[in-house]
Every structure is written in structure tokens, then in C-alpha cells.
A = this chain, B = another copy of it.
Amino acid sequence: MTATDELDLNLLLADTETEISRVVANRDASTVGVYEMIRYHLGLDGSEGPRGKRMRPLLGLLAYASIAGDHHAALPGAAAVELGHNFSLVHDDIEDGDVERRHRPTLWSIHGVPQAINTGDLIFSLSRVALHRLTDLGFSDAKVLRLMRLYDETCVMLCEGQYIDIATSAQGEPMTVELYFDMIGRKTAALISASIEAGALLATDDEEVISAYRRFGWSLGVAFQLNDDLLGIWGLEQKTGKVPTDVVRHKQTLPVLYAFEHATPADRARLAELYKTDDLNETRVAEVVAILERAGAADFTRSEAQRHRDQCLAELAGLTVIGPKAHEKLTGIITAVISA
């Protein structure tokens, strides 16, 4: 198998699914049920429904292969970040009261909150178990430990970001734009960045290269989130496959927070009033969107997304270790996840 074949995204995806499936396989007769729940959540239960995009593992595998030429040895890391991401989704669904994810009922809505909390905890534990296979694949103990330290600190950031999110949602007042960037750094950029940094640090000992991949991943993560914020309000259903629902769901994403800081006093007051209404019907959503646009929130968010995307592309261009094939794939992913 040549290095070119290695970077076929479908192959990377298939290998990732195999690796994850191995980690979440049944262990004992008395605990089959909880592993079934995990496989259901992950879309690995044989159903036809859409799975997650597996963006984090793919980025990690590409980062690794861009230096090492082959992706196989990094698969345990890929499985770990995807499981880590999914433990947080299972808990987020409970915390947000969401009854559906990827067009299927969420775990808690089927099995109840207690079972779903515990299943999330098990997915978290298994994400750690996944990493130990790196040792079996020949990585040095020092390397594996360093990766674990990165993963553990990233999980801390993830929970810190979620804390800020829940705490500010519970308050009456919108958070500041500054705190928002703090929050999405922890909640979104940290894990995307860590996935890419992990791929790099498994492939090289060169600290400058590892740092460059980390910066690349951080900019990508922020750009990804801001792009999501744009799509959540201005996304076209025919392009994204879903109706934008962030306003209906009262989500306080960057455009909304920016408007709270920069709209005219009258618009600000009206926005606050609208966001306090339980039923944000179509007319009211349109009114919110008009206020955001008048405040320049769409332009600001788009320019911030582009700034981080450009920073990310610039980091990528500066990565001299990277082969042309990997460069093309990574650029492809960046363009695919950041469309707005």
C-alpha cells in the first residue's frame, strides 16, 4: 500500500470505525446492554442512520500521516478523540434536554437520564483504554504518557468550557464577546487542536513542528465554531441539510452576543425582550435576524471566521514537513468544514 492510498479519506474512516468498534465491543454477558447503548449512540449498531462526521479522528490521522506517511499507528489516538467527543455529546444531550441527534432519539430519551449519564462515563473511560493500544503498537512510554497528559488537560478544558456555557445560559444576562471566545476555545478548539497535535506528536519529536500543528488546529477549531454559528442562523437548508435553529433555541452564539454589544440601544432592548420570549416563532426569528444584520453581527462573525481560517491556512502552508498529498487533504477538510 502506497502513501497515496493511505490518505484516501474513506479508508481512514473505515479504519477508524474498526478501531472504535474494537474498543466498544462486548466484554461480559452481564454488561452487554451498556455496550449496545454505546454502539447505538455511535451509529455502530448496524443501523443505516448517519453517523458523526468523525472530523476529529480524521484530522488526527491526517496530521500523523502528513509526517509519517502512513496512518495506521495513530488509530488508537483517533479512536480516543472520537470517543472523548462522544462522551461529551451524550452528556450534552442530557444537559441541553435534546431529544434528537443525527435524526435519532438521544440515549437519555430512550433509556432515561441515569443510564445515559453512566453510559457517557463509560465512553469516557473507554476513550482512555483506547490509548493504551499505542503501547502495543510500539510507541515509547514517554510518548504515550505525553499524549495522555495532552488528552487529560484537554478534557479539563472541555468541561471548563461547558461550565461557562451552562452558567451563562442560566443567567439572565448575555455573556460578553470576550468570554464567548474564551468558552469556545475550551469547548471546541481545544479538542480539535489536541487531535491534530496528538497526530503530530506521535509522528515527530520536533517541538517546533508539534507547536505549529497545535496552532493550526486551534485556528481551525475556532473557525469551525464560528462557521457553525453562521450556519445556525443564516445556513441554507439545501446546502447544510438542516434548517437553522439557533435563534428558535435561544442559543447565544457570537452573532447574538455581538449584537447585544453593538446594536443601537433600541435594538438591544428589543433583542433582549425577544430572547426572553419562550415562543420564538417565525416572525420573531425574522425580527431577531434583522436586528443582528443591522448591528453588523453577520459581517463581524464572517470576518472572524475568515480570519481564523486564513490563519489556519497560513499555519498549514508553513508546515514544511508535510507531503503534497496530505497538504491537499487537509486543505480539503478545512474548506469542507468552513463553508460560510
Interface string of A70-91 (1 = CB under 8 A from B): 0000000000000000011001
Q: Chain A binding site: helix, strand, loop or mixed by DSSP?
A: helix
B156 in contact with A145 (CB, 8 Å): no
By the criterion CB–CB under 8 Å, are A125 and B163 in contact?
no
Q: Is A94 an interface residue (CB 8 A)?
A: yes
**Copies of this chain in the oligomer:** 2
Q: Given A118-B95, A129-B152, A129-B153, is A182 in contact with B142 using a C-beta cutoff of 8 Å?
A: no
Which residue, of A91, A125, A162, has the highest number of chain B Cβ atoms within 10 A?
A125
Given A121-B124, A128-B155, A142-B141, residue A115 in contact with residue B167 (CB < 8 A): yes
In the complex, what residues of B have CB within 8 A of residue A160's CB? 27-28, 30-31, 34, 122
Give how many A residues have a beta carbon under 8 Å from the other chain's beta carbons: 52
Taking the closest CB of chain B, its distance from the CB of A212, in whole angstroms, is 24
Among A96, A122, A163, chain B packs the most CB atoms within 10 A around the CB of: A163
Does A119 touch B at the CB level, under 8 Å? yes
Q: Is the CB of A152 within 8 A of B166?
A: no
Q: Is A135 an interface residue (CB 8 A)?
A: yes
Complex contact A121–B167 (CB within 8 A) = no
Q: Which chain B residue shows the least CB distance to A124?
A: B124
Question: In the complex, A59 Cα to B271 Cα: how many Å?
Answer: 57
**Residues of A18-37 whose CB lies within 8 A of B:** 27-28, 30-31, 33-34
In the docked arrangement, what's the CA distance between A235 and B210, Å? 59
Residue pair A164, B30 in contact (C-beta under 8 Å): yes
**B166 in contact with A114 (CB, 8 Å):** yes
A–B Cβ pairs within 8 angstroms, 8 of them:
A30-B183, A33-B163, A34-B167, A94-B114, A95-B113, A121-B159, A122-B159, A128-B148
